[in-house]
């Protein structure tokens, strides 16, 4: 490799310390992103997708969760070793974030202009009030808020769900970040509004070349928005690769089962393929592969050893003993 | 198969006061459901699709008698459910049951699972000629929990000790314990993870096969509806804009809104090329309806007539009805639109 990737997450481990025991919420996650990449981070609730993002930005709930190991290399620095002061310069400016519920991200008692202008003011990026106003209008236009001039003095409650989420995106973009982390940004939106928002993300990416990490449980959203995908299960990435490869010929039995469990529109099947059981209790995970109890390809060996993530011949990575090294089904 | 449920021009308007001080102001009608007519065949699955604000959940509530229509009539098994006496009400509640999206919200956190599932029986079967003894109730509860594939030990648990999928199974068990003939399912799997969603949908389909149940499923998720329902109604701002056979609507959606919904639906197919943006703007307000067609302000194919005349649902053959000027109506039919330019 000639150049270091934009973001490189190495063996990231974040544990939650609860009264009932230690939960390995993120357990050895590893991936790398290039400029312009968009990575879909998929998995079921509790698989560790959000914890991975929060670990990168060091926004973990304290003191319950702690990153106990690994490195997050960004722009030549390990984010995990920065001081809180240095970290605050990274958040928002170098790495932006959008959360699931825009109402929680927006302050109900401040105007839109005030909130969208905040990142500019904090950085001292605006010369005077009229310049600030221009900058705010500019980002609001970028996210397609209709008649932004009239919207400046409004409050979040006057905005619809889709407009609120676009406002949050405007705030995240105000710092022109090199990476945007969006954690289930469209879960609270209707399909047509979701479609508009995902288009906006793609458009912004094309324009600015920023990288994107999109957390979602919807493989359809990944197919439409991302070029890479990481499938998480029980705190680990079980498959990582190019979206087309992974979605058209999944290597890991979990990815395969997830895709098969989706209802196919227009074809009324009698029964859906069903993954039996439920995700493991992370307080007491299985000794071997975490997916083994639900896996249709499980072998005796799967009960004993955790499968390491291996690079297959087509470049993607998967963690499954049923796959011989280098073999792609 | 006869008709089990029939809606005739059902309306639900809410009076909303706006402007002025307490008690003053002008009352405006919010037309949550504005003239819905359809019938559901006994033993079939009927899907209702739409975005938030389309009126689909209000319609579910009207059918469940949790709310009364302000116009029109709903007939269930030939009886007008707006004219039921106390006895009739009790009868209706044993025939029609509901499962909602948020199982945590619909299960009493202070009741044990066994008590939750037994409660309908306690209410409906402790008196009258078919009264059950405590032991019989217990047996029925155990049997029902087995049918929804919950281990017997959860009987003594509280809802918070169960996972989301298990809670939804409890909600289904509670709905099924009175052996109803129809279930109203309002977003029953939307809050569940993909792998659990398939389990619950399969469970519902097993129940339907076993007991010949009728389902009315309300959802924003066209993929789920397409899997479950045989008939589909698409709602927009209180109106049904397209209704017909599910498979045919999937194959050839006619209303521009239905087409847009399909375009917006994310599919796990990386090779699907997305053409034009699915839809501009947002769903309007049911308080301040646009003149003419309600979908007109967002419609790419709108014509002058669309902003003047509200289109009626017209029969287009094969049991399909569409409310759009492009299809029948005052303007001549444009053949090109009939061919479904979706995808």
Give A309 or B280, the one with higher predicted confidence: A309
pLDDT for A237: 96
- Indicate yes or no: CB of A222 within 8 angstroms of CB of B199: no
ipTM of the complex in this document? 0.83
Whole-number Å distance between alpha carbons of B313 and B258: 14
- Indicate yes or no: CB of B205 within 8 angstroms of CB of A45: no
Q: How far is B81 from chain A (nearest CA, A)?
A: 32
Which of A43, A185, A188, A263 would you mutate first to test chain B, the one with the most B CBs within 10 A? A263
pLDDT for B114: 95
Which of A266, A277, A293 would you mutate first to test chain B, the one with the most B CBs within 10 A? A266
Concatenated DSSP letters for A156-203?
GGGS-HHHHHHHHHHHHHTT--SEEEEESTTTTS-HHHHHHHHHHHHH
The torsion angles phi and psi of B103, rounded to 5 degrees, stand at -65, -30
**pTM of the predicted protein model:** 0.87
Question: Is B328 in the A-facing interface, judged by CB distances under 8 Å?
Answer: no
Question: Is B307 in the A-facing interface, judged by CB distances under 8 Å?
Answer: no
pLDDT for B341: 39
Per-residue model confidence as pLDDT tens digits over A50-85: 999 999 999 998 889 999 999 999 988 999 999 999
A 85-144 → B contacts, CB under 8 A: none
Residues shown for chain B: 343
Among residues A191, A196, A75, the alpha carbon closest in space to that of B258 is found at A191
- Indicate yes or no: CB of B271 within 8 angstroms of CB of A244: yes
Q: How far is A123 from chain B (nearest CA, A)?
A: 33
pLDDT for A269: 62
Of A191, A261, A262, the CB nearest to B261: A191
> Can you give the pLDDT of all 343 residues of chain B as single tens digits?
699 999 999 999 998 877 666 666 778 888 999 999 999 999 999 999 998 889 999 999 999 999 999 999 999 999 999 999 999 999 999 999 999 988 888 999 999 999 999 999 998 877 666 788 889 999 999 999 999 999 989 999 999 999 889 999 999 999 999 999 999 999 999 888 888 899 999 999 999 999 999 999 999 999 899 999 999 999 999 999 999 999 999 999 999 999 999 888 888 888 877 666 667 778 888 888 888 999 999 998 889 999 999 999 999 988 899 999 988 744 334 443 443 334 3
- Indicate yes or no: CB of B223 within 8 angstroms of CB of A190: no
pLDDT for B119: 94
- Indicate yes or no: CB of B266 within 8 angstroms of CB of A262: no
pLDDT for B207: 95
- Indicate yes or no: CB of A190 within 8 angstroms of CB of B283: yes
Per-residue model confidence as pLDDT tens digits over A156-214: 998 888 889 889 999 998 888 999 999 999 888 888 888 888 998 998 899 999 999 99
Which of B195, B199, B298 would you mutate first to test chain A, the one with the most A CBs within 10 A? B195
pLDDT for B19: 67
Of B202, B230, B265, the CB nearest to A272: B202
Q: How far is B195 from chain A (nearest CA, A)?
A: 6
pLDDT for B53: 84
Q: How far is A96 from chain B (nearest CA, A)?
A: 25
- Indicate yes or no: CB of A223 within 8 angstroms of CB of B261: no
Task: Supply angle C-alpha A275, B114, B205, rounded to 5.
Answer: 35
Question: Is B149 in the A-facing interface, judged by CB distances under 8 Å?
Answer: no
Of A190, A265, A294, the CB nearest to B51: A190
pLDDT for A131: 93
Question: Is B267 in the A-facing interface, judged by CB distances under 8 Å?
Answer: yes
B 80-119 → A contacts, CB under 8 A: none
Q: Which residues of B touch A196 (CB under 8 A)?
A: 277-280
Q: Which residues of A touch B205 (CB under 8 A)?
A: 270-271
Question: Is B305 in the A-facing interface, judged by CB distances under 8 Å?
Answer: no
A 150-179 → B contacts, CB under 8 A: 160, 162-163
Per-residue model confidence as pLDDT tens digits over A20-36: 999 999 999 999 999 99
Chain CA centroid to CA B295, Å: 20
A 66-85 → B contacts, CB under 8 A: none
A 2-61 → B contacts, CB under 8 A: 44-45
Question: Is A200 in the B-facing interface, judged by CB distances under 8 Å?
Answer: no
B 163-192 → A contacts, CB under 8 A: 163-166
List the single residue in B with minimal CA-CA distance to A222: B268
Which of A265, A279, A281 would you mutate first to test chain B, the one with the most B CBs within 10 A? A265
- 3-state SS of chain B is CCEEEEEEEEEEEEEEEECCCCCCCEEEEEEEEEEEEEEEECCCEEEEECCCCCCHHHHHHHHCCCCCCCEEEEEECCEEHHHCCHHHHHHHHHHEEEECCCHHHHCCCCCCHHHHHHHHHHHHCCCCCCCCCHHHHHHHHHHHHHHCCCCHHHHHCCHHHCCHHHHHHHHHHHHHCCCCCEEEEECCCCCCCHHHHHHHHHHHHHHHHHHCCEEEEEECCHHHHHHHCCEEEEEECCEEEEEEEHHHHHHCCCCHHHHHHHHHCCCCCCCCCCCCCCCCCCCCCCCCCCCCCCCHHHCCCCCHHHHCCCCCCEEEECCEEECCCCCCCCCCCCHHHHCCCCC
Question: Is B276 in the A-facing interface, judged by CB distances under 8 Å?
Answer: no
pLDDT over 90 percentage in chain A: 57
Q: Could you say which DSSP state residue A264 is in?
A: P
- Indicate yes or no: CB of B201 within 8 angstroms of CB of A270: no
């Amino acid at each position: 490799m000639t150049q270091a990737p934009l973001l490189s997450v190495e063996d990231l481990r974040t544990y939650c310390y609860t009264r009932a025991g230690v939960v390995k919420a993120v357990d050895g996650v590893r991936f790398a992103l290039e400029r312009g990449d968009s990575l879909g981070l998929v998995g079921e609730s509790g698989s560790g997708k959000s914890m991975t993002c929060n670990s990168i930005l060091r926004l973990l709930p304290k003191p319950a969760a702690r990153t106990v190991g690994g490195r997050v290399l960004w722009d030549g620095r390990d984010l995990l070793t920065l001081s809180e002061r240095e970290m605050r310069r990274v958040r928002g400016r170098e790495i932006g974030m959008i959360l699931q519920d825009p109402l929680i991200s927006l302050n109900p008692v401040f105007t839109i202009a005030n909130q969208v202008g905040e990142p500019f003011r904090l950085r001292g990026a605006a010369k005077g009030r009229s310049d600030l106003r221009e900058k705010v209008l500019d980002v609001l236009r970028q996210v397609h808020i209709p008649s932004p001039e009239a919207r400046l003095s409004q409050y979040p409650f006057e905005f619809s769900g889709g407009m609120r989420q676009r406002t949050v995106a405007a705030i995240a973009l105000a710092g022109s970040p090199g990476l945007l982390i969006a954690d289930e940004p469209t879960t609270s939106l209707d399909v047509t509004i979701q479609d508009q928002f995902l288009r906006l993300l793609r458009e912004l990416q094309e324009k600015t070349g920023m990288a994107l990490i999109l957390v979602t449980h919807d493989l359809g959203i990944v197919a439409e928005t991302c070029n890479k995908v990481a499938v998480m299960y029980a705190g680990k990435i079980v498959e990582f690769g190019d979206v087309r490869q992974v979605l058209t010929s999944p290597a890991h039995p979990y990815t395969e089962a997830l895709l098969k469990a989706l209802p196919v529109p227009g074809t009324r099947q009698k029964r859906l393929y069903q993954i039996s059981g439920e995700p493991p209790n992370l307080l007491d995970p299985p000794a071997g592969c975490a997916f083994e109890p639900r896996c249709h390809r499980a072998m005796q060996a799967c009960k004993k050893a955790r499968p390491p993530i291996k690079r297959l011949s087509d470049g993607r990575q998967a963690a499954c003993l049923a796959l011989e090294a280098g073999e792609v089904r | 198969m006869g008709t089990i449920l029939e809606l005739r021009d059902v309306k639900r308007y809410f009076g909303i006061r706006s402007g002025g001080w307490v008690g003053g102001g002008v009352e405006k009608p919010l037309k949550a459901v504005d003239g819905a007519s359809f019938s559901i065949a006994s033993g079939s699955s009927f899907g209702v699709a739409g975005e938030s604000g389309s009126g689909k959940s209000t319609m579910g509530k009207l059918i469940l008698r949790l709310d009364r229509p302000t116009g029109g009539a709903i007939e269930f098994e030939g009886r007008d459910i707006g004219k039921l006496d106390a006895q009739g009400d009790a009868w209706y509640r044993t025939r029609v049951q509901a499962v909602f999206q948020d199982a945590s919200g619909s299960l009493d956190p202070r009741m044990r699972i066994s008590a939750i599932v037994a409660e309908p029986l306690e209410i409906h079967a402790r008196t009258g000629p078919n009264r059950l003894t405590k032991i019989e109730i217990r047996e029925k509860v155990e049997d029902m929990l087995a049918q929804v594939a919950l281990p017997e030990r959860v009987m003594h648990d509280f809802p918070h000790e169960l996972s989301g999928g298990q809670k939804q199974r409890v909600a289904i068990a509670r709905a099924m314990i009175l052996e109803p003939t129809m279930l109203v399912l309002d977003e029953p799997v939307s809050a569940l993870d993909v792998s659990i969603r398939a389990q619950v949908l399969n469970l519902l389909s097993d129940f339907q096969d076993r007991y010949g149940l009728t389902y009315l499923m309300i959802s924003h998720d066209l993929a789920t509806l397409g899997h479950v329902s045989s008939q589909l109604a698409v709602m927009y701002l209180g109106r049904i804009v397209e209704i017909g056979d599910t498979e045919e609507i999937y194959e050839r959606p006619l209303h521009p809104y239905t087409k847009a919904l399909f375009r917006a639906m994310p599919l796990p197919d990386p090779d699907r090329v997305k053409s034009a943006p699915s839809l501009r703007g947002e769903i309007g307000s049911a308080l301040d309806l646009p003149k003419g067609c309600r979908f007109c302000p967002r419609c790419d194919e709108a014509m002058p007539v669309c902003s003047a005349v509200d289109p009626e649902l017209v029969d287009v053959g094969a049991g399909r009805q569409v409310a759009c000027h492009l299809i029948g109506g005052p303007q001549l039919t444009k053949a090109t639109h009939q061919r479904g330019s979706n995808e």
